[in-house]
Structure 1
Amino acid sequence: MNSEQRMKSEVEIWKRKMMKKSGMMNRITKKAQDKINGLIPEKAHKVITESIKKMVQATLFGSEYLTKPKETYNLSLEEKEALIKDSLNKFRKTAVVEGAGTGAGGLLLGLADFPLLLSIKMKFLFEVASIHGYDVKAYEERLFILYVFQLAFSSEEHKKNVLETISHWDEVKGELVDVDWQVLQQEYRDYIDFVKMLQLVPGIGAIVGAYANYNLLDQLGETAINAYRIRAFNRNEITEEIPLDSDK
C-alpha cells in the first residue's frame, strides 16, 4: 500500500468514526450537561456566546489570525502533514498550559479560558491552511476554516452536513456566503460544555482544564488533517468516492 492509498484508507476509517451514533455514555453526559447548564450563571453563558461570535467575525473579516501561505508547493502531502503535526504539538502545549492556569484560578479565570482557547484553535487552523499553501486572506478560505472547526466540534447530525459540504467544497463554495454563527456556537457549546464547565469547579479545575484542552486540540488536529486530505484528493482529481455511510 503506497502513501496515497494509506491516507485514503485512514480518511475512510476517520469518516466512519465521525459518523458513529451516540452511545449510552454520550447520552448520559448530555443529560448531565443539560443539568449543569441550568446551574451555570447567566454571565458565563454570555461570555461563551459573545466569545464565539467574536471569533467567527474575526475569522471571516479580521486580520488577527492572518499568516502568509507557506512555500510548500514542492512538498508532498506527507511532508506537509509532518509540518502540521509539529505545529499542533506547539499549539497543544500552549493550550495545556493555558488550561491548567485558568482552571486553577476559579470562575473568572476559568471563563477567560473560553476566548483564549478559541484563539489558539483558530490560529492553528490558519496555520494548517497556510502550510497547505492556501491564501487565508481569501474569504472562501476563511469560510472553509470555520467549516473545519464545526466538523471538529459538533453533534453527529450536524457533522454529517458539514462533512458533505467539505467533501464537495469546490462545487458548493460559490453558493456559501456566510456561516450561521448561532448554530456554530450552540453546536460548539453542546460539544464541549460538560468537561469545560468542570474546569470551573474549585480543586479540580487545573487538572480538568489541562486535560480538556489537550484533547480538544488533538480532536481539532485530526479533523483538520483529514479535511485537508479530502480537499487535496479532490484537487488532484482523485475520483474514487470515500463512503459517508458508517454501515459500509
Structure 2
Amino acid sequence: MESRDELLKELAIIEKWEKGQNGLWFWEKISRLPFKILDKLTPKFIHEKIGDLLDEIGAYVQSGGKYLTIEKNLFTIIEKEAETPINTVLDIKDLPLELMDKISKEVIEKRKKFATIQGATTGVGGIFTLAIDIPALLAVSLKTLQEIALIHGYDPNEKSERIFIIKVLQFSMADVVGKRTILDELSNYYRKENHESGEMMSQLQGWREVVYTYRDQFGWKKLFQMVPLAGILFGAITNRSMINDLSEAGIMLYRKRKILERLEVVE
C-alpha cells in the first residue's frame, strides 16, 4: 500500500481536478441549444426511446440486467498487468494505484475507439439513427464505468456500486451546480455504512437527469445528422468526446474513493 504522504499527494491532484470542474465548456453550452430548438420537430419514436431509457436505467440499478459487464475478460487483462492471479474482485482491491491507473487508461482507449466507430456508423443514417445511437452509447458508458469500478476493486454486481456508477454518469454531464452537489453526495461513499443510506437511495431520481442530459448532449449531433455525411463526422466526435469525459470522471472519482479508504487504514 502507498504511504500516507503518497496518498495525500494523489488526493491533492484529484481535488485540484474537482475545482477545475467549474462549468460547461463554451461549446457544450452552445450544443444544448439546438435540441431545445428542434425538440418539437423530433420524431415521436425518439421521444419514446428516451422513455425506454428511463426504464432501462431503473432496471440496471435494481438488478444490473443486460448492462452488466463480463468480468472474466477484464480479469485476464488485469492479471497480465499485475503478474498475479486474479479470480475475484477481492484480488484487485489492494493493487497499487499506479497500476490501476495504467490498466484503466488501456481499457478506456478501447472503449473510445469503439464509441467513435459506433457514432460514425449511426451517423450515416441521419437523425433517425439517433434512436439506435442513444441507447447504444448508454450501454458503452455503463460498461466503461463498470470496468473502471472493477479495476479499482469494486464489484458492479452489488447494488450499491451500481448506484455509485449512475452518480458518476450523472456527474460527467451535469452543470457546475450539479457537479458540486454530486461531489458532496459521494464524499463519504467510501464509508460502507453510507452505501445503502436512505439519502443515497432517494437521490436515484438522478437517473432521470442522466437520460435527459443524454438527450440534450445530442443537440449538435441531431442538427448535423440532417446533413448527409456530416452526421458521420459529428457522430464520431460526439461519441468519443462523451466517453472521454465520462472516463476521466470515473477514474478520478473511483481513485479518490480508493485513496480515502487507504488513508483511513493508514491513519
Which TM bucket (shorter chain)? 0.7 to 0.9
Aligned residue in 2 for 1:76: 96
Please say if 1:229 is aligned against 2:255: yes
Moved over 6 A (4+): none
Aligned residue in 2 for 1:154: 174
- Where is the helix percentage greater, Structure 1 or Structure 2? 2
The residue identity in structure 2 corresponding to 1:225 is I
Aligned residue in 1 for 2:211: 185
Distance in 2, Cα, partners of 1:32 & 1:51: 21
CA RMSD of aligned residues (A): 2.5
The residue identity in structure 1 corresponding to 2:43 is P
Distance in 1, Cα, partners of 2:131 & 2:259: 40
Q: Provide TM-score, normalisation by structure 2.
A: 0.78
Q: Provide TM-score, normalisation by structure 1.
A: 0.84
Distance in 1, Cα, partners of 2:224 & 2:264: 44
Which moves more between the two structures, 20-29 or 43-52? Answer: 20-29
1:62-211 to 2 correspondence within 5 Å? 62-64=64-66, 65-68=68-71, 69-70=88-89, 71-169=91-189, 170=191, 172-173=194-195, 174-175=197-198, 176-177=200-201, 179-180=204-205, 181-190=207-216, 192-198=217-223, 200-203=225-228, 204-211=230-237
2:45 to 20, 43, 60: 43
Distance in 2, Cα, partners of 1:3 & 1:219: 26
1:8-19 to 2 correspondence within 5 Å? 8-18=11-21
Distance in 2, Cα, partners of 1:99 & 1:25: 19
The alignment of Structure 1 onto Structure 2 pairs a total of residues equal to 236
Distance in 1, Cα, partners of 2:263 & 2:13: 19
Q: Is the 8 A contact 1:103 1:205 kept in 2?
A: yes
Q: Is the 8 A contact 2:7 2:259 kept in 1?
A: no
Aligned residue in 2 for 1:246: none
> 1:113-148, CA deviations, whole angstroms, 9 ceiling, x for partnerless residues?
011111011111111111111122111011111111
Aligned residue in 2 for 1:58: 60
Identify if the C-alpha distance between structure 1 residues 30 and 211 changes in structure 2 by more than 3 Å, giving closer, same or farther.
closer
Distance in 1, Cα, partners of 2:146 & 2:30: 35
Gaps of 5+ in 1: 240-248
Q: Is the 8 A contact 1:52 1:115 kept in 2?
A: no
Q: Is the 8 A contact 1:92 1:218 kept in 2?
A: yes
User: How far did 1:74 drift?
Assistant: 4.2
Query: Counterpart of 2:218 in 1: which secondary structure?
Result: helix
Distance in 2, Cα, partners of 1:74 & 1:27: 40
Identify if the C-alpha distance between structure 1 residues 195 and 52 changes in structure 2 by more than 3 Å, giving closer, same or farther.
farther
Percent sequence identity over aligned pairs: 25
